[in-house]
A = this chain, B = another copy of it.
Amino acid sequence: MRRRSKYNVAVVGVGAVGVEMLRVLRQRDFPVGDLKVLARSARVIGVDGHSYHVEAITPEAFDGVDIALFAGTEGEKGAAVTYAAEAVKRGALVIDNGADFRMDPDVPLVVPEVNPKDAKKALKARGIIANPNCSTIQMVVALAPIHKLFKIKKVVVATYQAASGAGSKAAQELFDQTRSVLDGQAAVPQVLDQRIAFNLFPHIGGFGEAGYTSEEWKMVKETHKIFHDPRIKISATTARVPVKTGHSEAVYIECRRPVDIDAVRKAFAEAPGIVVVDDVAQSQYPLPVDAEGRDEVFIGRIRKDPMDEKALWLWVVADNLRKGAATNAVQIAELFVKR
């Protein structure tokens, strides 16, 4: 991609992630030249007091675009399936938050803190870089320093995923349904798979091979691809919880070598994008409500398994719409933008 002072950017999609992309571009002061906001239909939307003219998406809309950020959609093929190649043909670098291209061997899957060098490979391949799934991103940011120190053998993870991970309508359903239940009315799921008010369920995405959900497989396969190591045993149970935004993960890690917790803390302190919140004497550990609106991955409850010197636990929290989606995509774009 040509070096320049400003880049013409297209954001595709104006759901929860698309809106967050607009917000993150502005907040991180991304050197945006022309900004196009593309969606199925034209309209005007407001984000934080700024109004954006949304254009109806067409192949020609990508003329002159340097970087196209596709927000992706929940549970169906994203716009990138139809338009990514069109955007690339017209000279854009595509960064896709959807799931469609993640496992394509010619599409790098990138978390800038973990495998930034992979991003450059896109320029010689399909011109597309995939953003991993939200639950994968925050986990691999936490795993990377540990893998470097002690070589990870196995990861067992249980997630506590916020409603907004299923889109803005799901987040609204959480609030509306909760109010209904408090008012003594019935809870009728319309967007999410089950009642979410004062309830939770181990079902994110569709059920597939081996009884795993697609979300659980994403955590396995995407982590393998990002670490370039399919031998790491990864196993997940993913659950939706009545939280608006902010995914939490209880991550258990078995290493090949004995774990030194002080070395882990030192590595986290030096790692980019990680904030350690871990002072249990003061009841300090990461919380989803504290992570909301933040770009970092928050890690706490850092502790060795008292029964296994090669194993440790982490409690990992991040804003699923930001680091889990929009922020990571913009950070990938920043890899190409030397300021």
| Inter-chain contacts of A115 with B (CB < 8 A) | none
Interface positions of A from 225 to 267, Cβ below 8 Å from B: 233-235, 237, 239, 241-244, 248, 250, 252
Q: Are B243 and A283 in contact (CB under 8 A)?
A: no
**Residues in B whose Cβ lies below 8 Å from that of A201:** 285, 287
> Which residues of B lie under 8 Å from residue A160 when comparing CB positions?
160, 200, 239, 241
Give chain A interface residues in 278-312, CB to chain B under 8 Å: 280-281, 283, 285, 287-289, 300-308, 311
Stretch from A11-19, A39-47, A84-92, A175-183 at the B interface:
A175-183
Which residues of chain B have C-beta atoms less than 8 A from A336's C-beta? none
A203: B residues at CB distance < 8 A: 280, 283, 285
Quick check: is A52 within 8 A (CB to CB) of the other chain?
no
A102 in the interface, Cβ–Cβ < 8 Å? Answer: no
Least CB distance from A175 to B in Å reads: 6
Q: Which of A121-175 contact B (CB under 8 A)?
A: 154, 156, 158, 160, 174-175
**Chain B neighbourhood of A288, CB < 8 A:** 199-200
Bound CA–CA A280/B238 (angstroms): 14
How far is A300 from B195 in the complex, measured between Cα atoms in Å?
17
Decide if B198 touches A315 in the complex (CB within 8 Å): no
A7 at the binding interface (Cβ < 8 Å):
no
Complex alpha-carbon distance, A298 and B289, angstroms: 30
A60: Cβ under 8 A from any B Cβ: no
Does A212 touch B at the CB level, under 8 Å?
yes
Minimal Cβ-Cβ distance residue in B for A281:
B207
Q: For the complex, is A30 an interface residue (Cβ under 8 Å from B)?
A: no
Find chain B residues with CB under 8 A from A250 CB.
158, 202, 237, 239, 250
Which residues from chain B contact A280 at a C-beta distance below 8 Å? 203, 207, 211
Instruction: Considering the complex, give the chain B residue whose CB is closest to the CB of A315.
Output: B202
Q: Are B156 and A252 in contact (CB under 8 A)?
A: yes
By beta carbon, the residue of chain B nearest A154 is: B308
A194, CB-defined interface residue at 8 Å: yes
* From B175, B242, B252, B287, contact of A242 by CB (8 A): B242
Ordered by A's residue number, 11 sampled pairs between the chains whose C-beta atoms are within 8 Å are: A156-B252, A182-B182, A198-B242, A199-B287, A201-B287, A202-B315, A203-B285, A212-B306, A235-B306, A239-B248, A241-B242
For the complex of A and B, the 8 pairs showing the least CB-CB separation, nearest first, are: A211-B303, A158-B158, A158-B250, A237-B250, A207-B280, A233-B307, A210-B306, A199-B289
